[in-house]
Amino acid sequence: MARFARISSIFVTNRKLNGIRLRIGLLLITAMILAFWSPQARCQQKVGAAALPFLNLVNSARANGMGACTIDLVNEESALYNPGGVGLFHLDKTIAVAWPQSTKWLPELTSDLRLKSYTLSAGMSSQRLHWGKNPLLNVSLAFAFSRLDLDYGSPSTEFVSSARDRADCYTIAVGADYLIRVGIGYTYKRITEDVTESWYPEGPSYSSSFVANGEDVGITVELPLWRVWRSKHPKSLLEPPPAVQITPRYTYVVANGAQGGEMLPQKYHKGLSLHAKYVRNGLSAVDLTLVGEIEKPHVSEGKLLKGGVELGLLEVCYLRIGRFKDDPLESGGTDINTLGIGFSLNGLIKYTRIIEHLHPSTRLRWLLANLDVRFDYAHYGGEENQYFHDTRFCGLAVSL
C-alpha cells in the first residue's frame, strides 16, 4: 500500500493526465481513499502504519442500514465483525450461512470496485443436546469461517494493474444463558494482498505480495430485564415471557490486535443497544432496536461515531435508518446517512401459522419452526460529492 500511496500523490497533482495515466491514477486514488475513509486509518498513517484499508469497510447490509453499527450483529454475519455474537447466536441456531455483498464501492470514481464476503458457522448448545437438568441454563460452543475479499476491478487495454485484498477469518466462540446472556469469541485472521502491474506489449512489470496475521476478540452481554425482575421468584422464570420485553446489550471488540502490529488498522469497537419487543398472542408484534457505537483506533486521536434504529413488524419486515460520521471536532470528514430494509421467512412462517394448518410430521415441524431465510438491503445517502454516496449493499442468509 505504501507504493500505492507514493504513486497516487503524483497523479493527484497532475491535471494533464493522458488516458492511460488517468486509468492508473484512478486505481491508486481509489486505494488511498479507502485507506483514509475513517479517522482510524488517517491516525495510523500519521505514525507510519501501512494499514490495509479494506479491513475498515463494513459489508453487512443489516449493519449498514443502521449506520454501519456492527456491534449489534448477533446473527449469521457475527463472525465478520463481532466474535462474541457468534456464541450468543448459536445458543439457538445449529448452522448458518451468509452472503453479504456490496453492489459497488466508491461509485463516484469507479464502477469496478467490489467487496465480497461470506460466512459459514456451526455450533451446538446444551439445550439442543438435552444436556443438564436445569431448564434455565444453556451453554454453546460454535465455530465459524469467514472470507472478506476486495477486488479492484478489470484492467485497461494498455495497462494491466490488478490488486486483490483478502482476509480469511477463523472464529471460535462460547455462549452462556442464565438470567443474563454472555457471548465471548476469538477470531484469527490471515490477511493477504497481491498487486501486479505491467505494461504491454513491451515494458517493465512489477508484482508484490503482502501477508499479515491479525486477531479479533469480542464480548457481548445481554441483560433481559424481565428475567432479572422475576429472579426474585425463581418459579416465575418458567412462566411465559411478559408482553413487553426490554433487553439492553453491551458489546466490546478489539479488532486486528496482537499479531497485527502497525501493519493493520487496529481499533476498538464499543457500543450499547436497547431492544424492546411487544408480544401478542405468542407472536412478536413490534420490535424496536436503538444502537450506538464508537469506533476508535488503538493509537492517537479521532473516532468514528455511529448510530441507528431498526423497527421490526411481526418479525417479517424490518425498516432501518442510521448515520455515521467522524469525530465532531474534526472537519471535512465522513458524514453518511443510511437506509435499509430486511425480510425474514421465519417471521412469515410464524405469522401465517402455517405449521398449525399443515399438521406436518415431527421433523418437518422442527424444520419449519427453526429454518430462516433472510434478505437485507442497505443504501448510503449523504451529499452527492462524497465518495461513499450511493453505495449499496445486499445480503442473503440462511440459518437453521
Percent above pLDDT 90 for the chain: 46
| 190 closest CA partner among 219, 207, 168 | 168
Predicted confidence (pLDDT) at residue 87 exceeds the cutoff of 90: yes
Q: Which three cell numbers stand for residue 358?
A: 399443515
Q: State pLDDT tens for residues 230-239.
A: 888 877 888 8
Q: pLDDT value at position 206?
A: 62
Q: What is the mean pLDDT of residues 271-298?
A: 92
Average pLDDT, the chain: 80
Q: pLDDT value at position 322?
A: 97
115 vs 252: which has the higher pLDDT: 252
Q: pLDDT value at position 361?
A: 78
Q: pLDDT value at position 224?
A: 94
376 vs 6: which has the higher pLDDT: 376
Strand partners, 167: 148, 191
Strand stretches in the chain, DSSP E: 95-104, 114-125, 138-151, 159-178, 180-199, 205-222, 244-257, 267-280, 283-297, 304-313, 317-326, 335-344, 372-380, 392-399
Q: pLDDT value at position 109?
A: 65
Q: pLDDT value at position 272?
A: 97
| Measured distance CA(288)–CA(276) in Å, rounded | 5
Q: Are 188 and 170 in contact (CB under 8 A)?
A: yes
Q: How sure is the predictor about 211, in pLDDT bands with cuts at 50, 70 and 90?
A: confident
Q: How sure is the predictor about 11, in pLDDT bands with cuts at 50, 70 and 90?
A: very low
70 vs 333: which has the higher pLDDT: 70
Q: How sure is the predictor about 364, in pLDDT bands with cuts at 50, 70 and 90?
A: confident
Q: How sure is the predictor about 143, in pLDDT bands with cuts at 50, 70 and 90?
A: very high
Using CB atoms within 10 A of its CB, is residue 99 exposed (0-12), middle (13-18) or buried (19+)? middle
Q: pLDDT value at position 203?
A: 54
Q: State pLDDT tens for residues 154-171.
A: 554 444 456 778 999 999
**Main-chain phi, psi angles of 251, to 5 degrees:** -135, 140
Number of domains in the chain: 1
Confidence (pTM): 0.82
Predicted confidence (pLDDT) at residue 180 exceeds the cutoff of 70: yes
Predicted confidence (pLDDT) at residue 106 exceeds the cutoff of 90: no
Q: What is the mean pLDDT of residues 218-228?
A: 94
SS3 state at 210: strand
Predicted confidence (pLDDT) at residue 50 exceeds the cutoff of 70: no
Q: How sure is the predictor about 253, in pLDDT bands with cuts at 50, 70 and 90?
A: very high
DSSP string, 131-158: --S-TT-EEEEEEEEEEEEEE-----SS
Q: Worst-scoring range by mean pLDDT, 28-42, 52-66, 304-318, 355-369?
A: 28-42
Q: How sure is the predictor about 56, in pLDDT bands with cuts at 50, 70 and 90?
A: confident
Q: What is the mean pLDDT of residues 200-217?
A: 73
Predicted confidence (pLDDT) at residue 184 exceeds the cutoff of 70: yes
Where do the H-state alpha helices sit in the chain? Answer: 2-13, 19-36, 39-46, 61-65, 78-81, 83-89, 225-230, 345-352, 354-358, 362-370
Q: pLDDT value at position 115?
A: 84
Q: Which domain holds residue 30?
A: 2-399
Strand partners, 139: 176
Q: pLDDT value at position 3?
A: 36
Q: What is the mean pLDDT of residues 71-90?
A: 94
Q: pLDDT value at position 197?
A: 65
Predicted confidence (pLDDT) at residue 391 exceeds the cutoff of 90: no
